Structure 1
Amino acid sequence: MKYLTPLFALAALPALASEDIADQYPASPLYSKPVEVIPHVFSAIGATAPPTYENGGHNNNLSFIITGDGVVVVNGGASYKLAEALHGEIKAVTDQPVKLVINENGQGHAMLGNSYWADQGVEIVAHVDAATDFEDSGPQTMRSHQAVLKEGAENTRLVAPTTTFEEAHIVEMGDMTIEARYLGHAHSPGDIVVWLPEQSMVIAGDMAFHERMLPIFEHTYTADWIETWDTAFEPLGATYVIPGHGHPTNMAQVRRYTRDYLIYLREKIGAHLEDGGDLADAYYVDQSPYTNLDTFEELATKNAGRVYEQMEFE
């Protein structure tokens, strides 16, 4: 087996992600070249911007784990070409075959690349709710990605996970124990984390954000997300966190920009409701402590409006 030199300190990673950088790896469909975060765990860090033609739709993190007896990939990717490019990077660092792909949720950037992995005969695992979400939203997501990626979407087709689970899918492979776990309601249906207990690392998916503002969707229930964080995610006690978007970090950093942001916004909206405020003004509650986050301009007002709509009837 051959390995890249591991990044033993998170500080050794490249500069923080920026939504203003169109592409960090022009030689590849990937937005950035995979880095070894801890020994045998790699991640290709996606753009913190929305999907664009320039970033190839690679705006989430595509990770892989070299176990000693095969490779486990976390996220199918947003297209056939992205998955194929990631596989090329895997082959450059190990001769071990990819044996498993885990989809972190049912969004396009997690599942559209399943088409490539299915063609390689690889098992694809996801939470049952994520599979249902992809079945429902996949056609629209595909059309959106085709419009943005153009020729970059070639060969991409809708392929569902081959295996689903409800609570946990635990794999013993080579020298690694890999636990795909559903911890509870969070960002989107079927959100899971991939927990490596022996390494104290969590590949958190959209449970955790820190360099870009988290989006609150119509099906994102913020009170449930906070509860899942407090009762199941934080108690993992992870030393290393690879979030769904942005560079690897630690629990304190993602807590600050995920859990604490959700609590902050709910407090602001709660005060606005107590004062008799309406939806039109709710969009503009003060979120200034988070203006440093990428996608703030795109998401802050939308987030406030959705939290108002939720809390109005709590």
Structure 2
Amino acid sequence: MSKAFASTGDLEQKKVTFAELAPGAYAYTAEGDPNTGVIVGDDGVMVIDAQATPRMAEDVIAHIRTVTDKPIKYVLLTHYHAVRVLGASGYNAEQIIASRDTYDLIVERGQQDYESELGRFPRLFQGSESIPGLTWPTIVFENKLTVFMGRKRVEIMQLGRGHTKGDTVVWLPEDRVLYSGDLVEYGATPYTGDAYLEDWPQTLYRLAALNPARLVPGRGDALMTPELCGKAINETRAFVALMYQTVKQARSKGASLRDAFAEARNALEPQFGGWVIFEHCLPFDVSRAYDEAGGLRDPKIWTADRDREMWEALQG
């Protein structure tokens, strides 16, 4: 029997937590759903990842208003995925910031990604009719951008490819707080369908070198100790490395995609099978790993039709 497609069967609402990591640094988390970061500076607020719809952004704003009435000046996009960016218009921010690579990915495949993700995980797109269209950055940077929110220094950096080629992290150096986007997960399965799997482990070493004291992953609880930050980075690296090497070895022996998927499941399930969205992510992860192991450097564009065809081939 086929498994329910992606996360279409996941209808349970999650409990939201709004945690303070350091003065003016917050994490909006919801039991493994996509996280949003909040930084309150002297003159305004920065939101890191916007949620999937303007309606869902309303709840983030309601939590922000429990700690400050300052205007929301910036929305920062850690990468281009629809579930992270399409709620941006709900904040009425002065500026939307993204890396050049993220901007280029929105141009190249933003609409297909929107349609794909809406079909994969409808619960995360509550009020999808409120989405005005693709989110377009108003400030685009390369490598690094520093924003001073009054006295609060916010470093926005690309440290390497991983989850996508545009991955961006936000670093508060005085407080050693890191917002990693989906480069790091905690208790949640990394999605690697648009990843650069050869690069991702090295990018994580660069994140670890920052030695964060607090970390907001893409999914999972906000991490409040250096030990937990290191654990999340190491476990994400372990998943990515094991998944890719298993698929790469299978392909080198002539295995089909379906057989490589079976080998990857057997290798990963004992350690990672209990992580959030494991069943959702694994077929997409293995598909990308199989392509990259075969020499396809840049990920193929996922469309709603390609999603369903792949799912039936691997989970049917």
TM-score, reference length from structure 2:
0.78
Q: In structure 2, how many angstroms separate the alpha carbons of the residues matched to 1:97 and 1:264?
A: 44
2:97 is aligned to 125
How large is the RMSD of aligned CA atoms in angstroms? Answer: 2.5
Q: In structure 2, how many angstroms separate the alpha carbons of the residues matched to 1:213 and 1:79?
A: 23
Whether the 8 Å CA contact 1:35–1:44 is kept in 2: the answer is: yes
1:265-293 Cα distance to aligned partner (Å, 9 max, x none):
23323443455544332111121321121
Q: In structure 2, how many angstroms separate the alpha carbons of the residues matched to 1:90 and 1:211?
A: 25
Select the residue among 101, 111, 124 that pairs with 1:139.
Answer: 111
Q: CA deviation at 1:255?
A: 2.4
SS in 1 for 2:97: strand
Whether the 8 Å CA contact 1:212–1:296 is kept in 2: the answer is: yes
182-191 or 265-274: which moved more? 265-274
1:175 aligns with 2:151: yes
Q: CA deviation at 1:301?
A: 4.1
1:220 aligns with 2:201: no
1:300 aligns with 2:300: no
Alignment-mate amino acid for residue 24 of structure 1: K
Distance change (3 Å), C-alpha of 1:270 and 1:40: same
User: Gaps spanning 5+ residues in structure 2: where?
Assistant: 1-8, 297-316
1:95-116 Cα distance to aligned partner (Å, 9 max, x none):
2221211111111122211222
SS in 2 for 1:283: helix
1:105 is aligned to 79
Q: In structure 1, how many angstroms separate the alpha carbons of the residues matched to 2:212 and 2:22?
A: 13
SS in 1 for 2:101: helix
2:208 is aligned to 234
Structure showing greater relative contact order (alpha-carbon pairs closer than 8 Å, 6 or more residues apart): 2
SS in 1 for 2:207: helix
Q: CA deviation at 1:262?
A: 1.6
Q: CA deviation at 1:123?
A: 1.0
SS in 2 for 1:130: helix
Q: CA deviation at 1:143?
A: 4.2
Q: In structure 2, how many angstroms separate the alpha carbons of the residues matched to 1:263 and 1:154?
A: 39
Q: In structure 2, how many angstroms separate the alpha carbons of the residues matched to 1:214 and 1:199?
A: 26
Alignment-mate amino acid for residue 223 of structure 1: E
1:90 is aligned to 64
Pairing of 1:1-314 with structure 2 (within 5 A): 22-25=12-15, 32-48=16-32, 59-117=33-91, 120-143=92-115, 148=122, 152-158=127-133, 159-217=135-193, 219-230=194-205, 232-249=206-223, 250-273=228-251, 275-285=253-263, 286-288=267-269, 289-313=271-295
User: Aligned residue pairs: how many?
Assistant: 276
Whether the 8 Å CA contact 2:74–2:93 is kept in 1: the answer is: no
TM-score, reference length from structure 1:
0.79
Distance change (3 Å), C-alpha of 1:154 and 1:266: closer
Alignment-mate amino acid for residue 197 of structure 1: P
Distance change (3 Å), C-alpha of 1:157 and 1:193: same
Distance change (3 Å), C-alpha of 1:151 and 1:277: closer
Whether the 8 Å CA contact 1:180–1:194 is kept in 2: the answer is: yes
SS in 2 for 1:44: strand
- Matched-pair identity in %: 25
Q: CA deviation at 1:144?
A: 5.4
Q: In structure 2, how many angstroms separate the alpha carbons of the residues matched to 1:135 and 1:82?
A: 24
